[in-house]
Amino acid sequence: MESLGWWVIIAVVLFFLIRRNDKSGKKDINRKANEPSRGAKSRVLDASAQSCWLPMGHAVEIQGYSVPGGMIYVGDGLANGRGIDVEPSLINPKLKVNRREVDYSGDHMGYWPSYSNIHPASRAAYLEWLAGGRKDSSANIGYVFLFFYGLERRCLLDPNKHSVSATEILEITREVQRLRDLYAEKSGSFDGYSARFLDAIKLNSSPETILSENPASDPNMRNKSEILVKFALGKAASADQPIPVGWALAWVCQDPEIKLRTSAKRCPEEFQALFRARYAERYGEGLVIKPGKTQARFYYAPASNSLSGVHDSQLYNGPSVPDVLTLKKPRRLISEFTDEVMDELDSYSRFVGREKESRGSFQALALMPKPISKLFEKPEVAAFREKLFERLGTEDIAEIPGQWIFEQFPTGKPDQMTKKEAVLLAQAFEKIGLGVVPDVRFTNHKPTLAQPAVIFRLREGAPSAPSKEFELAALLMRLSIMVADSDGEISSEEEQHLERHLESGLGLEAGERDRLRAHLQWLPKDAATRGMTGLKKRVEALDIVARTAIGNVLVTVASSDGEIDAREVAMLQKLYRLLGLDPNNVYMQAHAIAAAPVTVRSAQPQTDDYKIPKKPGGEVSQGEPPRVALDEAALSRKRHDTEQVKALLSSIFSDEPEEEEIEIKVLSNETSNSSIAGLDSEHSVLVREIISQQKWTRVELEVLASKHSLLLDGALDTINEAALDLCGAPLIEEDADSFEIDVEIVEEMTA
């Protein structure tokens, strides 16, 4: 029994010894299996970067691939920036490559790839991309990054130990820019890393030229790099120099504390152009900033995780510059200025957001700020502009066919305009330096397809809305033309007198006088304005003093050509009745104009005219009919008697805004239950409640959503998708547990 016990003990010991050996063997097998990815740690990493670096233009054969162009590390034993592992961009020619199953799609690529660790099929794809000249735009972005890691190392790490020429640095930056042209739009990550790399190299290699350069800026590419912006602003501030417009624009595009709204993002080119124009107007050569005490520091976050520790002392070793980005006042000034620029673009942005193909059209021109209007017009708009100025020639006023307008300015209905369309038309003409008559903003008449319009040169500072004086002048002109034209023709004397009397008598500004002359030329062309339609309502708003004064002016105008015939008298009497005046007072007013007693003779069969006598010494032909004799000197005095006309201003009609307000309210009530941006009724009602305030907490919105039997996250996705489809931007932006409503998108969605 005792011997049996010893055998049991020996058997147990042998069992555990064998089991331990099995485990040890398995560990060896696992280690060998992982050797391609971890074997580098067991080797001595003593290769120099200089010995592994293949300069530009040098070709190399790797695993059957002929790789041209150089700019890569090839060899074995090169440590990464931390010295604890293999350099990820190093191509070890001894590692296996699977050419039968090439990983073009990059399925086996990790987030931070290293050539020594990636799958053999991925190595084949990478080498094939290199062999093809690094220009296959369909390549997986991981392969581009793997190559980029080497360029980062060569420019930012190697110069600390080896000689890297300025020429080589320049060649590398050109290569990175070439890669950006191919892949930046494809990968936002590569776009950001490569942009920051180029900025870091610029600061490191040629800081003295930075301030004089014109940097790239794009409102849709935010926060890519602050390195050069920080340096340029600090450099300008330290030298007490103005900040050039290019750097001011780069500042607002890169500073995360400056919010850019939809108008800047939807219309980036227009925003940049307007920013430049307004910046020059506001600040001349540029905004001057007083430097603070905080000095700027510069950091670079490399794409390669092996290059940690690349800091400001390695990027810039020149004289210190102040950190302007830490100052509150300059940021507030440039932010407020940027808001003003975006405000100017808001209407234009909303229009092109609704009408995707309208950018550069004549309609879009109406809403575009004038300083940039010529920069973005379509060729057909430029041709129309040229056509209009050819029609003007050397004159200040010219007539154009109504058809021209409707061909260039499409409307909802083919032969007529809404008031909104007519306003846009007038604004579009303003942008090309012309006024147009009729202009619905001034006289409530709209262009028609059948009737000619009149254009005139618009002087700088001309008003775009009527003054009370102009409104009165337009009314008197309309009434006067009805009288002057009642004898079948309008004499030049009648037109000249009408123009002089209204211009001087009402004290019109120069721009208003230009418009009134154009209005005078247009009025006889439109028969509709010579009728009584629409006049009664305006006249009823005038008191008896004003109406009497108008009647007196009408008689004066009618007699300006030296005679008043029976048809003019008839029209004057008709207008007197419209004015609520005694028609017989026409004769009294005509007599009052004369300096001498007037003899009214009985009408003869041959004529019913009244004529001012000829000057003394003149002969009257036999058979000439008797007329009302009026003294021209008294007539002249009356033409210059403007005080009575000015008295009308206290009681003249207004723009009748009450009707418009009522119309808006009714429209609001009618649409309270209508769909917003194509959403169903539940989501539309939720939108109306959400836009009642600009900021919400998640709890508040969850309560609102549940009230309409909606799940908040799904409802927000649905609403924002509708906003993106309509406006190109979301309505609701989430920040942690708070939500902010984009006011500009609200206006577009509910327009």
The percentage of the chain sitting over the pLDDT mark of 90, rounded to a whole number, equals 38
Amino acid identity for residue 531 in this structure: G
Q: How far apart are CA 477 and CA 445, in angstroms?
A: 14
Most confident of 560-569, 589-598, 668-677: 560-569
Q: What is the DSSP letter of 338?
A: H
Q: Which residues contact 112 (CB under 8 A, 6 or more apart)?
A: 88, 304, 305
Q: Is 311 exposed, middle or buried (0-12, 13-18, 19+ CB in 10 A)?
A: exposed
What pLDDT shows up at residue 179? 97
Contact in structure between 225 and 195 (CB atoms under 8 Å): yes
Higher pLDDT: 117 or 20? It is: 117
pLDDT tens string 269-299: 999 999 999 999 999 999 999 999 999 988 8
What does the buried/exposed string (b/e) look like for 87-110 if buried means 16 or more CB atoms within 10 Å of the residue's CB? bbbbbbeebebeeeebbbebebbe
pLDDT band at 122 (very low <50, low <70, confident <90, very high): very high
Q: How far apart are CA 695 and CA 733, in angstroms?
A: 10
CB atoms within 10 A of CB 368: 28
Contact in structure between 40 and 115 (CB atoms under 8 Å): no
What pLDDT shows up at residue 34? 33
pLDDT tens string 605-623: 434 443 433 434 444 444 4
Contact in structure between 632 and 612 (CB atoms under 8 Å): yes
Name the phi and psi angles at 621, rounded to 5: -70, 150
Contact in structure between 69 and 135 (CB atoms under 8 Å): no
Helices (H) and strands (E) in the chain, counts: 32, 12
Contact in structure between 676 and 723 (CB atoms under 8 Å): no
What pLDDT shows up at residue 309? 62
Q: Is 17 exposed, middle or buried (0-12, 13-18, 19+ CB in 10 A)?
A: exposed
pTM higher than 0.75, yes or no? no
Q: How far apart are CA 381 and CA 441, in angstroms?
A: 23
Q: How far apart are CA 91 and CA 72, in angstroms?
A: 8
Give the mean model confidence (pLDDT) for residues 413-434.
89
Q: Which residues contact 448 (CB under 8 A, 6 or more apart)?
A: 402, 415, 416
Amino acid identity for residue 706 in this structure: S
Q: Which two tokens stand for residue 321?
A: 């510059």
Q: How far apart are CA 281 and CA 406, in angstroms?
A: 36
pLDDT band at 488 (very low <50, low <70, confident <90, very high): low
Name the phi and psi angles at 57, rounded to 5: 90, -10
Asked which of 71-85, 299-313, 419-433 is least confident by mean pLDDT, the reply is 299-313
What pLDDT shows up at residue 637? 46
Rg of the chain's alpha carbons, rounded to an integer? 41
Most confident of 29-33, 451-455, 579-583, 630-634: 451-455
What pLDDT shows up at residue 597? 40
pLDDT band at 477 (very low <50, low <70, confident <90, very high): confident
User: At which residue do the structure tokens 């190595």 appear?
Assistant: 123
Q: How far apart are CA 155 and CA 226, in angstroms?
A: 19
Q: How far apart are CA 342 and CA 344, in angstroms?
A: 5
Contact in structure between 98 and 123 (CB atoms under 8 Å): yes
Contact in structure between 315 and 203 (CB atoms under 8 Å): yes
| Tally of CA atoms within 13 A in the half-sphere of 281 that contains its CB | 10
Contact in structure between 598 and 629 (CB atoms under 8 Å): yes
Give the mean model confidence (pLDDT) for residues 298-305.
87
CA angle 164, 170, 172 (to 5 degrees): 80
Cα 607 to Cα 543, 569, 586, 604: the distances in Å are 37, 13, 19, 6
Name the phi and psi angles at 668, rounded to 5: -65, -40
Asked which of 10-19, 573-582, 669-678 is least confident by mean pLDDT, the reply is 10-19
The percentage of the chain sitting over the pLDDT mark of 70, rounded to a whole number, equals 75
Is the pLDDT reported for residue 656 higher than 80? no
Per the prediction, the chain carries an average pLDDT of 79
What pLDDT shows up at residue 252? 95
CA angle 515, 418, 387 (to 5 degrees): 50
What pLDDT shows up at residue 93? 94
Is the pLDDT reported for residue 38 higher than 50? no
Q: How far apart are CA 384 and CA 391, in angstroms?
A: 11
pLDDT tens string 330-348: 999 999 999 999 999 998 9
Higher pLDDT: 535 or 32? It is: 535
Give the mean model confidence (pLDDT) for residues 714-735.
81
What pLDDT shows up at residue 413? 81
What pLDDT shows up at residue 249? 96
Is the pLDDT reported for residue 19 higher than 90? no
Q: Which two tokens stand for residue 263?
A: 């108008």
Is the pLDDT reported for residue 723 higher than 50? yes
Q: What is the DSSP letter of 323?
A: -
Higher pLDDT: 391 or 496? It is: 391
pLDDT band at 485 (very low <50, low <70, confident <90, very high): low
